A = this chain, B = another copy of it.
Amino acid sequence: MSEESLEGNCLVAQSGGPTAVINASVAGVVGEALNHPCIEEIYGGLNGVLGILQEDLIDLAEESQQNVRGLRYTPASALGTCRFKLSKEEDYERVLEVFQAHDIRYFFYIGGNDSQDTADKISKLAADKGHEMRVIGIPKTIDNDLVGTDHTPGYGSVIKYVSTVVRECALDHEAMGRHDLVSIIEVMGRSAGWIAAGATLAKRRDVPKDPPHLIYLPEKTFSREKFLEDIQKVLKKERHCLIVAGEGLRDTEGNFLGAGKSKDDFGHAQLGGVGDYLAALVEENLAVKARSSKLGTGQRAAAHCASQTDNDEAFLCGQAAVRAAIAGETDKMVTLVRGEGEPYACETGLVSLSEVANGVKEIPESWIAEDGVSMNYQFIKYAQPLIQGEVEVPHANGLPEYVRLNKKRVRRLLDKYVPES
A residues apposed to B, CB below 8 Å: 14, 18, 46-47, 50, 74-78, 80-83, 160, 163-165, 167-169, 171-177, 183, 185, 201-202, 205, 258, 260-262, 267-273, 275-277, 279-280, 283, 289, 291-298, 300-305, 307, 384, 387-390, 395, 397-400, 402
Contact = CB atoms under 8 A, between A and B. Distances in A.
Given A18-B171, A165-B298, A271-B273, 12 more contacts: A47-B177, A76-B175, A81-B176, A168-B301, A168-B302, A172-B298, A172-B301, A202-B399, A275-B294, A276-B276, A291-B296, A294-B294
A300 B172 contact: yes
A175 B77 contact: yes
Contacts of A75: 168, 171-172
Contacts of A400: 164, 167-168
Contacts of A261: 267-268, 283
A402 B169 CA distance: 12
Contacts of A295: 293, 295, 298
Given A205-B397, A398-B387, A298 B294 contact: no
Nearest to A263: B289
B280 A291 contact: no
B297 A169 contact: yes
B272 A399 contact: no
Contacts of A271: 258, 273, 276-277, 279-280
A389 B384 contact: no
B183 A398 contact: no
B399 A171 contact: no
A289 B270 CA distance: 10
The residue among A260, A275, A295, A389 with the most chain B CB atoms within 10 A of its own CB is A260
Contacts of A292: 272, 294, 296
Contacts of A267: 261
A98 B383 CA distance: 49
A289 B261 CA distance: 11
B399 A201 contact: yes
A379 B134 CA distance: 54
10 contacts: A46-B177, A47-B177, A81-B177, A82-B177, A160-B398, A169-B296, A169-B298, A172-B300, A272-B275, A292-B294
Contacts of A205: 397
Given A272-B292, A279-B271, A293-B295, A399 B164 contact: yes
Given A270-B289, A304-B164, A78 B398 contact: no
Contacts of A395: 390
Contact of A388 (B18, B293, B389, B397): B397
A307 B398 CA distance: 8
